[in-house]
Structure 1
Amino acid sequence: MTRKAASSRSAGHPNPVTPDIIKDVAIRLFSERGYPVIGMRDLSEAVGILPGSLYAHIESKEKLLLDIVTSGVQNFTEVIAPIVESDGPADQRLRQAIRAHMRVLAVTLDQTRVTFHQWHYLTNSNLEQMVAVRGDYENLFSCLVAEGIDDGTLLGASRPKVSTLSIIGVLGSATEWFSPTGSASADEIGDSIADVVTLGLATR
């Protein structure tokens, strides 16, 4: 057994440690206790390896956060982008996008909580990268609002960006109250959110 493999199995960890395992543990700890509170020692103890061994798998705690939040946003853009690019009235596609968002949230709740509420702990180029990725997500809803105004299915608001940010704000806050094991499914919650959103932007 190599020294690297031995260190990965230290502290009683039964299997070789991988970056994905570290990422999953970090998501849980950051979600439960917050990024600033969790140190490298906390992370290494939870994974089951020595603190110095973490650097064989990750560059830094901030780079780990960057990976979590960028992939967290991409979880949503990957399923919402095809809806935006599809045919049909924009208000119906907006409803589909909101339902898709809630389906992703149902299976990535911890990661999404970190993604939407702790990305601002990033600094410098890491922050710039996250802002760009987040901008791609925002643009999807911006496109739907703009197309809804054009096709007459959504109200021609004087400030469409406010409408877009309001939708994103509602979806972002869902991490604080939505439960995948609750009485209502992700689709049902998505429809309820869409009812409120489309009612506020409805032309009829």
Structure 2
Amino acid sequence: MSPERIEEAAIQLFSEKTYPVVGMRDLSDAVGLLPGSLYVHINKKEDLLQRIVEKGIQRYLDAIEPVVESDQTAPERLRGAINAHMRVLAGSLQQTRVAFHQWTYLAPTGKRRVVKLRRRYDALFSQIIDEGIEAGEFRAVKSARVTVLAIIGMLNSATEWFSPTGELTAEQVAEVLADGVLTGLVA
């Protein structure tokens, strides 16, 4: 049994039922192992959640960091970051639901590790907004922090309504979202 297969089953179960409701027996049934045999592959359910959450957030960091570090204008980078976020979401909707909404079930040490990753994610959008304001590409908003939190909140809530098989592709949704955000920001 591969660790990836166990993680995939856990992602599906945690996404459908939530982490606290899923037991080791549910997970062992999903992968076709006896509960005792599952412990050969994982120490405890929380370790599995930790890996799923960290890998999930890292996917976003890996997709968005190159966009933020590019030499494009701030509006182009913000559009690109939103697009990158939606592309990752389209390819990992269930994992994103777990990563963004169930990390709070982790023990304090695990939560601290996740908060560091989440701060890196937040910092990417803060960098774009701050540099855009400084360059005069974005208007001086009353609170850059609130602006960043609003953008991130909008993107994170997409786990509740976006469907990779829906009427609009991830890129089309990203364009609509970016147009809305940029309409309020562009100087």
Tell me the TM-score normalised to structure 1 length.
0.90
Deviation at 1:130, TM superposition (A): 0.6
Matched, 1:21 2:8: no
- 1:155 and 2:139 are equivalent in the alignment: yes
SS at match of 2:179: helix
Structure 2 unmatched runs, 5+:
none
The one-character-per-residue Cα deviations of 1:46-79 (angstroms, maximum 9, x if unpaired) are 1110111111111211111010011001111101
**More RCO (CA 8 Å, sep 6+):** 2
Give the deviation of 1:202 after TM superposition: 2.2
Aligned residue-pair number: 187
Other-structure match for 2:26: 42
Cα drift, residue 181 of structure 1: 0.7
Alignment RMSD: 0.8
Q: Quick one: distance in 2 between partners of 1:53 and 1:130?
A: 29
Q: Give the aligned partner of residue 173 of structure 1.
A: 157
Alpha-carbon shift at residue 159 of structure 1 (Å) = 1.4
Equivalent residue, structure 2, for 1:132: 116
Matching residue of 2:84: 100
Q: Indicate the structure (1 or 2) with the bigger Cα radius of gyration.
A: 1
After TM superposition, where is structure 1 displaced by more than 4 Å over at least 4 residues in a row? none
Instruction: Letter of the 1:51 partner, please give it.
Output: P
> Could you tell me which of 53, 64, 81 is aligned with 1:69?
53
C-alpha separation in 2, matches of 1:58 and 1:119 = 18
> Does 2:132 match 1:145?
no
Give the letter aligned to residue 168 of structure 1.
I
Q: Which amino acid aligns with 2:113?
A: Q
Match for residue 96 of structure 2? 112
What does the per-residue CA deviation read over 1:82-134, in whole Å, with 9 as the maximum and x for residues that have no partner?
A: 01000021011100110111011111000001111111111111111011111
Counterparts of 1:157 and 1:123 in 2: how far apart (Å)?
37
Residues 19-41 of structure 1 deviation map (CA, whole Å, 9 limit, x = unaligned): 11100000000001111100111
CA deviations 1:119-150 (Å, max 9, x no partner) are 11111111110111111111111111111111
Structure 1 residue runs without a partner (length 5+): 1-16
Distance in 1 (alpha carbons) for counterparts of 2:42 and 2:130: 41
